[in-house]
Structure formats: C-alpha cells, structure tokens
Structure 1
Amino acid sequence: MLPLTITSKALEEVKAIIKHKNIPKEYGLRIGIKGGGGCVGISYMLGFDKKKSTDDSYTIDGIDVYIEKKHVMYLVGLEMDYYSGADAQGFNFYKPENESR
C-alpha cells in the first residue's frame, strides 16, 4: 500500500506529463525527500526514473511509483496534490489533518 495519498488531480497531472514529455514506459514516478538536517527541514522531490534495488515500488491508477526505502517513513500520512491557479502551479505535499491547501 502506498504510504501517501495522491489526489486525482495530481494523478491527472502526472499522466499529462508522462504523455506530453514522452516519458519512457520503463520509467516510473519517483517520490523522495532531500534535506532534513538543521533548520531547513525536508523538501519533497518528484521525477521520473527507473526502479532501483533500494526502492519500494507501488502502482496507482496504472502509474508505477518508486520510493527509496529509507524515504518511506517521511512520506507516511502525507497527501500529494496539484494546484493550478493564477498565482502559482505545482505539486504540494501536506499532512491533511494539520494543514489546509
């Protein structure tokens, strides 16, 4: 089971990126973290990559999702959404019970 929730809007955007950017079939959506030291905190990363031996893999709505095993615990309980408005657009990660969009 995927450790985070991906909204239907985020899934639609990922599918659109795969289609329009011609992402190869052997690539999946990589979700990860960087940082975590000091005052900066954690930043979330998205990209497309091939599966590695250190990954947990999942499939959601036909999309392969890869997460490094050491990153899974930082993603548990998060929700990934996509926002598109006049002020900004992009993917957001948040804990649904703690934050509003």
Structure 2
Amino acid sequence: MSNQPHPVCFTESAKDNLLPWVLEGKMPEPYIRIGMKGGTCGGTYVLGFDSKTEFDEEYLIDRIPVVIDRRQLLFVLGTEVDFQARANGFYLHKTQNS
C-alpha cells in the first residue's frame, strides 16, 4: 500500500453506501477501482469492483480498499467519489482544490 497522500476522497454519503459492503465482506472483488476510460482529455471516470494488477497503486481510504492504475493517477488526482440516490448512485468529480 502506498504511504502517499490519497489521490481521491469519498464523501460521507459514498462511505455510508460502500462501507457496509466492505465490512461485511460482500464486495464481488477485493478492491474499488477508480480510473479513466476512453482517453484522458475527453474520457469518463470509472468506478467499479476489481482485482489488483501489476500496474496498480493500492490505497486504503477511510477503510475502503482502492486500486488506481499508476498511468492514470495524474488524471484522477483530486477526484471525489460521491453517492446521491436521486442521481442513481455513485459519481465522481474533481474537487475545487484540484
């Protein structure tokens, strides 16, 4: 696991919806993957369950196991994971500080 500051963060709402899966061992894969799909300039964020690969950095963020491909770290740096029921679940966005 990396000792660097966390490149992403989770809102309280996101943690409230993810932690039960983590703590009860009900995640379909051991990690939450955060990344980009479809290119870095016009790409979209990716959030899902996944396994770790040789290209990944591993983080434990607020008890949530996260992997991010090293090649995508700069593009997801400063990303916040949020959950809103009215928006159909989880979404990612850049924070104001990034």
Alignment TM class, shorter chain as reference? 0.7 to 0.9
When normalised by structure 1's length, the TM-score is 0.75
Between the aligned partners of 1:72 and 1:61, the Cα distance in structure 2 is 19
Equivalent residue, structure 2, for 1:33: 36
Could you say which structure has the larger radius of gyration?
A: 1
When normalised by structure 2's length, the TM-score is 0.77
Say yes or no: does 1:82 pair with 2:83.
yes
Identity %: 35
1:44 Cα deviation from its structure 2 partner? 0.9
1:65 Cα deviation from its structure 2 partner? 0.4
Between the aligned partners of 1:61 and 1:37, the Cα distance in structure 2 is 27
In structure 1, stretches of 5+ residues that fail to align are none
Aligned pairs, number? 93
Between the aligned partners of 2:93 and 2:77, the Cα distance in structure 1 is 11
1:15 Cα deviation from its structure 2 partner? 2.3
- After TM superposition, what 4+ stretches of structure 1 lie above 3 angstroms from structure 2? 16-21
- C-alpha root-mean-square deviation of aligned residues, in Å? 2.6
In structure 2, stretches of 5+ residues that fail to align are none
Contact 2:19 2:63 in 1 (8 A): no
